[in-house]
Structure 1
Amino acid sequence: MKINLKSGIDKLLFGMKQKDVIADYGKPSKEYKDEDDNLILVYNTLKMRLTFYQDEEFKLGYIVASSPNLELFGNKIIGKKIADVKKDLAKSSIIKFTQEEFDTFENYFNEENWIIFQTEFDEVVKFEIGAIINQKDEFDWKFGKK
């Protein structure tokens, strides 16, 4: 599954509604609301959790994924050493990361692309990507744009 920076993953585009996602991927394994009343769809087979923002008309705005099939610039990322992932990203001029530590986990956040690589024991175990906020302080929705 190809990660499309600033846009989404695979056929998932930021700005899609629940019905659009279900049309492409079928019924989710689980569906619930979080503490902010956002809609969450979970797809176990895809190893993805999708967040639809309540205050944005329930548009897809955030994806958390841990599928071993995730690819960024043609390179698999899950299970790879973070140093190798960062080396691959540097070839595409993605070099700025803010690092946070939580117990055995570390997060590497790149704000420009709104991506997070979560590692444990120096290996990427989870990837997160969020919709970009533009210069007008609004979400840059990709779905439906030509």
Structure 2
Amino acid sequence: MLALGIVLNIIGLGFFCWVLFTLAIYALPFFVGMTAGPYAHGVGAGPFGAIVLGLVAAAFTLVIGQTIFSIVRTPFLRIAVALMFAVPAALAGYYATFGLSGLTMTSDLWRQVFAVIGAIVIGVTAWTRLAASPPDGSSGHGRPALS
């Protein structure tokens, strides 16, 4: 039973790490939605209105960011948009790695080291996922993408 518990813990931690890497690019829209929702509730939109406004703001942020990134050809502007998505992802990666490392180690110094490494890795992952789309709409192999 002990071996099964260890294996299931490793699988569970692996699943959470996979989810973290997969959802890292959505950190900025999530933050925007979680800011707009409580603000809307605070000004009297009600619970349903706050949820709807938060979802709309998050979706709008994601669509506008990806659209700007795919349309703009200037490297400086592409880097700026990619940083707008990668920095919140790195921040989320820092806190997630810090929390996960707290499950296995007690040294605060090593927790900080692993948290910084996790922030860098997750920020770079979000950056590369956003940058994976070619700027000219082609498939990246010298020929246009199929519609």
Q: Which has the higher helix share?
A: 2
- TM-score of the aligned structures, taking structure 1 as reference length: 0.27
Q: Which has the higher strand share?
A: 1
**TM-score with structure 2 setting the length:** 0.27
Computing the radius of gyration from Cα coordinates, the structure with the larger value is 2
